[in-house]
Structure 1
């Protein structure tokens, strides 16, 4: 026969397990959420970096659509692409084959909604493009941007 009217052993064990579960979930959230937020930010920055390269490729395609055009036309073609700024245009090649060299700065800003609120990533890169007067393909050369 039992006396005392206390909490049963089964109920005490259940409460202890529930309390332990709540504490572990709190610790997991405190450690895990910042890691997930950082990973989400890294993905957004990677997407911004890929878009910088894609925008530079688009500017390259627009410039190479008419490679025999003069410097002002090539500058306008590159400037027409959103996010592209033409830093310099130089036609310092030999007279027999006047190659125009453009230096472009490409800037992209990305924002995204996530569980953690709005996240933003800004990316910028500079590229050099030598445009020969014929239809030969021209590669983009990545440069360090001037300040």
Structure 2
């Protein structure tokens, strides 16, 4: 008679070890996958926010390219850019002040399927042909 078991005891130990490894892998995946999905979503949201700022800067450049233009022309120039909505145009002593909203929607494929992020920002730009260009001002968006 053999002591310490035989083939069946070794097989049981191997099955127990494999089961333990699978359980550890399942728990690790259950914890890690939501964290990775959230991280991927936050990264996409940051990219959308950076694109909002970049679009606002392109709008500013387009507005300052023709500083002597009238209010309607400046409204059309800003409105022609993708994702830009002109909210108000006011003429005053400092020049023409445009308030506009930029909206960006980003979609990306990831390991977790399609992810979507939207970002919006409101900005104001004063255009005056007689003075140095004013800085782009970020404003809270109206509801």
Q: Name the TM-score, length of structure 1 as normaliser.
A: 0.90
Alignment: residue pair count: 142
Note if 1:131 corresponds to 2:124.
no
Whole-Å Cα distance in 1 between the matches of residues 48 and 29 of structure 2? 28
**1:136 deviation in Å?**
2.2
Q: Report if aligned partners of 1:64, 1:135 keep a CA contact under 8 Å in 2.
A: no
**1:34 deviation in Å?**
0.6
Say which SS state the counterpart of residue 91 (structure 1) adopts: strand
Q: Which runs of 5+ in 2 are unaligned?
A: none
Whole-Å Cα distance in 1 between the matches of residues 62 and 85 of structure 2? 14
CA RMSD, Structure 1 to Structure 2 (Å): 1.7
Q: Report if aligned partners of 1:67, 1:135 keep a CA contact under 8 Å in 2.
A: no
**1:14 deviation in Å?**
1.5
Q: Report if aligned partners of 2:105, 2:116 keep a CA contact under 8 Å in 1.
A: yes
Equivalent residue, structure 2, for 1:70: 70
> What are the residue-to-residue correspondences of 1:1-147 with 2, within 5 Å?
1-2=1-2, 7-93=7-93, 98-134=94-130, 136-147=132-143
**1:132 deviation in Å?**
1.3
Q: Report if aligned partners of 2:95, 2:128 keep a CA contact under 8 Å in 1.
A: yes
Q: Name the TM-score, length of structure 2 as normaliser.
A: 0.93
Whole-Å Cα distance in 1 between the matches of residues 17 and 9 of structure 2? 12
Whole-Å Cα distance in 2 between the matches of residues 13 and 70 of structure 1? 84
Cα shift readout 1:81-134 (whole Å, capped 9, x = no counterpart): 1000000000122xxxx5110001000000001111110000001001111113
